[in-house]
Amino acid sequence: MAFLTAVESGVQPHMIRCGILCSPSAPRCRRWRVDQLLPCLAFVQSGKVLDQCFEGVLFEADLSCRGEMISPRSMGFGQPPTARTWLDVVEELFRPEQNVPALLQTSQRLPAGRQVDLWIALPYPFENQPGFGTVRGKRLNFQSNPEHRTEAVVWWMEQVCRRWQRTSRRVPSHRVVFRGFAWTRSMLWPADHGVIREVAEWVHRNQLKLMWCYHDRTEGADSAGELGFDLCLNRPLLARGIHRIDAAAAFAEQHGHGVILAWDGARCPDSLTEVLQAVRNRIREAVQLLELPFGVVGQWCQQAEPAYRALYQYIRGIEAQNGDSKGGART
């Protein structure tokens, strides 16, 4: 087996996770505008776009500003969300001038012929929510009716797709490809298996893909494809130790998965440049998702930090070594 590659998966090889709203570690609301997205999607110097950088974006809402848990990353850090909260997330994703609309605008500034993949993380239907609210005239109770969890997620995906069609039509020259959704709960909790299977079926019926982001060593990761995931990305336990990245990379390579690289200067003793240098040859082929602190790429770009160039070189350099100067699979 080998890594999941861009060519075989039909997706762009380098994605960046863009967390929106609040997170358990950051109480301030995160909103991605063009000025923050552009340095991520393009290599910008002195205000000029010189080349493409990341080729994909994963938007994920963690915690609402009222403290309701949206992503599984926020499990236990707030109150269970309701249908209203989930609709607010859709509103937030498609709020004018930010997040998805900002991505559409940013894509227009990329070098000719370049595209960007859009992924959207699914909200997690917390099992202990007895009063999720009314969806399509039906009151949903996740606690007593586990099948309501699937209904809620499918309903939410429909809202997103509807908004995507409406919003993307308004920017006819955009170069964003809506690839699909991401299931970001790492643990394959048995009660989630049915939800995942049905979500995957819906996603595939709508010509989209379902991605799974998991932590290294998660039980069941070796057979996750049976649940309907199109691509699985393995996050090393702690990005600070290269041996940990290596262990996750080995598993990903063995099972045809991609890799997640999470870096935060406040927590990692190594600089991002050092981490990228260390893994450059190890995971070159793999589809990758980078998780970086909110706004850091924009800051590096503005301050012409060496890390910004290193990041760009890492992303493009891999492609150059593949002999494909235009990147991975294109549609």
Partner 1 sequence: MPTVLHAPIEIAGQMGTLCQGLRNFGWTANGYNWFHTYLQYDSPIVQTDAYELMHVFEPLVRAADIIHFHNGDTMLTDYRDLPMLKALGKPMVMHHWGNDVRDVETLNRRLKYPLPPSYHTPDEIRAKLATLSQYIDHAIIQDHELYEFIAPYYKRVYELPLVVDTKALQPVYPNVSNPCPLIVHAPTSDEFKGTRYVERAIDNLRSRYRFEYKRIEKMNHKAAMSWYERADIVIDQVMCGTYGLLSVEAMAMGKPVIAYIRDDLRPTYPGPLPIVSADPDTLEVNVAALISDPGRRRALGMQGRRYAEQYHDTGVVVQRLIRIYEEILQEKQ
Task: Compare residues 73 and 209 and give the one whose CB is closer to partner 1.
Answer: 73
Q: Least distance in Å: CB of 105 to partner 1?
A: 33
Give the bridge partners for 260, in sequence order.
289
Distance in angstroms (rounded) separating the CA atoms of residues 224 and 211: 11
What residues contact 139, with CB distance under 8 A and at least 6 apart?
A: 131, 132, 133
Distance in angstroms (rounded) separating the CA atoms of residues 258 and 60: 18
Q: Least distance in Å: CB of 241 to partner 1?
A: 12
Q: Least distance in Å: CB of 90 to partner 1?
A: 25
Task: Compare residues 93 and 233 and give the one whose CB is closer to partner 1.
Answer: 233
Distance in angstroms (rounded) separating the CA atoms of residues 206 and 201: 9
Distance in angstroms (rounded) separating the CA atoms of residues 262 and 237: 10
Cα 288 → chain centroid: 10
- Residue 242, Cβ density class (10 Å: 0-12 exposed, 13-18 middle, ≥19 buried): middle
Q: Least distance in Å: CB of 128 to partner 1?
A: 6
Q: Which chain residues interact with partner 1 by CB under 8 A? A: 23-25, 72-73, 75-77, 128, 185-187, 189, 214-219, 235, 237-238, 267
Distance in angstroms (rounded) separating the CA atoms of residues 306 and 312: 10
- Closest by CA position to 218, among listed 206, 236, 231, 205: 236
Task: Compare residues 89 and 188 and give the one whose CB is closer to partner 1.
Answer: 188
Task: Compare residues 49 and 248 and give the one whose CB is closer to partner 1.
Answer: 248
Q: Least distance in Å: CB of 213 to partner 1?
A: 11
Task: Compare residues 184 and 288 and give the one whose CB is closer to partner 1.
Answer: 184
Q: Least distance in Å: CB of 182 to partner 1?
A: 16
The token pair at 199 is 């979500």
Task: Compare residues 107 and 218 and give the one whose CB is closer to partner 1.
Answer: 218
